[in-house]
Structure 1
Amino acid sequence: MRASKRPLGVVMAWVRRQPPKVKAFLAVVTGMAALVFIRFIVHDHDNLFVAAEAVHALGIAVLIYKLTKERTCAGLSLKTQDLTALFLAVRLYCSFVMEYDIHTVLDTATLVATLFVIYMIRFKLRSTYMVDKDNFALYYVVIPCAVLALVVHPSTSHNIANRFSWAFCVYLEAVSVLPQLRLMQNTKIVEPFTAHYVFALGVARFLSCAHWVLQVLDTRGRLLTALGYGLWPSMVLLSEIVQTFILADFCYYYVKRLVTAAYVYDLT
C-alpha cells in the first residue's frame, strides 16, 4: 500500500515539520495574503463584521443541534458560554444607549441562542457536563478585563460608565474562548460538534479582525481618530488580533485533521 497524498496534504505535512518560528511566520504571511484577497473581493468591508456575527451564530446553531439531537454537552465549556453571554449582554447595553443598528439585532439573536445553550447545560443535560474538566477560573479573565477597561477606554463624549462598559466587552470577548480551549486540553479529546463550534469562532474572529484592519486602511487611519485618542484605538485592534491568534492554532489543527482525512490511498 502506497499513500498518494493530495497537494494540500503534502503542504500541510511540510508545514508540520517546520520549527515554531517558521510556522508563526507562515501564519502571518497567510493572514496577510487572506486580507489582500478579501480586500479585493469584498467591496463593502462593513459586511465583514456582519459576516463574522453570522458565522458566530452558525457555530452556536451547531451547539444547539448537538444539545437537542445528541442530548449531551460533553466537551462543551459552560464557562465560555457564561463569558459569551456576559460580553454580549454588555455589548447590547452599549448598543441601546450609544448606537442602534443591524449589529444590535444580530447580537440579540446570538445572546438568546447562547442563553438557551446555558440553560440546556445547567438544567437539562447537567449529568453529561464535564464539570471537573471545565476548571478555568473566570476571575483570571473577568477581573483583568475590568481593570484594563478602567485604565484604557474610549475617549468619546458618552457617559463614563458606558465607555467603561464598551471597553470591558471588547476585552472580554477577546479571551472568552479560553475556558473552552482549556477544557479540550484537559480531556485530550475534541468532540466533533464542539470542534465545529470553535472553528466557527475562529473564522468569525478572523473576519472581524479583517473588518477592523481593512477599515483602518480604507479610511487612511481616520477610523482610529473617530474611535477617540490615546491607547483605546490601538487596544481595539490588538484585542481583535489577540483573539484571532488564540484561535489560530486550533483552526490549523482542525484544517489539518480534515486534510488528513481526505488523503487518498492507492492499493498496489
Structure 2
Amino acid sequence: MMDLNSKDKSPGAAFLTTHKSNIALWSGFVVVVFFCYHLFSDGDFSFLMTMGAFVRAFGFAFLIFKAFSQRSVAGLSLKTLELYAFVFLFRLSSILRYQGYLPYDRSGDWLYTFLEIVALTLCCGVIYLVTMRFNSTYELRYDTFGWLHLPTELGGLYILLPCMFFGMLIHPNLNRNWFSDVSWTIA
C-alpha cells in the first residue's frame, strides 16, 4: 500500500495534493449549479443563460481567490476587466427594468439578475485588486491592445466603440425600448 506522504507519490496523488483547493472550489461550483438547475429550472434551453451567469460570477470569484492566495495579479489584463465591467453595466441596464432578455424559467425571476449583479461586483473587486491592493504585481507592459492614435490605457475603446456603433445599428426589439435593446446588443 502506498503512503500519500511518501516522496514517491504517484502523479495522480501529487496532482490532487497540489490542486486540492482548486478541486474543492470546482466541486462546490458543480454542486451549486446542479442544485440551482433542479430548484429553479424547468429543464428548458433558457437555463443556459443562468448557467453562463454562474460561470462568469464563479470565474471572477476564482480570480479573487487566486489573487489573494498568490498575493499577485500578474497575468491579469486590466483592460479586459474594464470591458467586462462595461458588459455587465450594459446588460444590467437592459434587464433590471425589463424582462425581454431574461430566461423564461424560474431562474429568470431573480436568480439571473442577482448573478449578474454579483459578477459585476466581483469584477469591480478584481479591478480594485489590480489597481490598488496588488498593483505592484500588475504587469502593465504586457497589457497592451490598441494602437494608432489612442494611448495604451484607452485601448479598450478599440473594442467598445465598434460594439456601441453596431449595437445602435443592429439590435433586437424584445424590450421595446431603444436604449435597453441597444444596451443588450452592446453587452
2:176 match: secondary structure: coil
Is 1:134–2:134 an aligned residue pair? no
Checking the alignment, whether the CA contact within 8 Å between 2:172 and 2:185 is kept in structure 1 is yes
The letter for the 1-side match of 2:129 is M
How far the C-alpha of 1:131 sits from its partner, in A, is 0.5
Q: 1:157 to 1:65 in 2, by over 3 A?
A: closer
% identical equivalent positions: 31
Give CA deviations for 1:70-112 in whole Å, capped at 9, x if unaligned: 1100011111111111110111111112126421111011111
Which residue of the partner structure matches residue 67 of structure 2? 67
Checking the alignment, whether the CA contact within 8 Å between 1:64 and 1:117 is kept in structure 2 is yes
TM-score (norm. length: structure 1): 0.45
Is 1:167–2:185 an aligned residue pair? yes
Whole-Å separation in 2 of the counterparts to 1:133 and 1:139: 17
TM-score (norm. length: structure 2): 0.63
Whole-Å separation in 1 of the counterparts to 2:96 and 2:79: 26
Is 1:120–2:134 an aligned residue pair? no
Which residue of the partner structure matches residue 103 of structure 1? 112
2:141 match: secondary structure: coil
Give CA deviations for 1:152-183 in whole Å, capped at 9, x if unaligned: 012346222222212111xxxxxxxxxxxxxx
Structure 1 residues not aligned, in runs of 5+: 1-41, 170-268
Give CA deviations for 1:181-202 in whole Å, capped at 9, x if unaligned: xxxxxxxxxxxxxxxxxxxxxx
Aligned residues: 128
Checking the alignment, whether the CA contact within 8 Å between 2:57 and 2:116 is kept in structure 1 is no
Measured on the aligned residues, the alpha-carbon RMSD in Å equals 1.8
Give CA deviations for 1:206-233 in whole Å, capped at 9, x if unaligned: xxxxxxxxxxxxxxxxxxxxxxxxxxxx
Is 1:158–2:167 an aligned residue pair? no
Q: 1:145 aligns with which of 158, 163, 170?
A: 163
Checking the alignment, whether the CA contact within 8 Å between 1:98 and 1:158 is kept in structure 2 is no
Q: RCO higher in 1 or 2 (8 Å CA, sep ≥ 6)?
A: 1
Q: 1:79 to 1:156 in 2, by over 3 A?
A: same
Give CA deviations for 1:15-68 in whole Å, capped at 9, x if unaligned: xxxxxxxxxxxxxxxxxxxxxxxxxxx943222222222122222122111111
Which residue of the partner structure matches residue 52 of structure 1? 52
Checking the alignment, whether the CA contact within 8 Å between 2:78 and 2:143 is kept in structure 1 is yes
Q: 1:82 to 1:156 in 2, by over 3 A?
A: same
2:172 match: secondary structure: coil
Q: 1:155 to 1:105 in 2, by over 3 A?
A: same
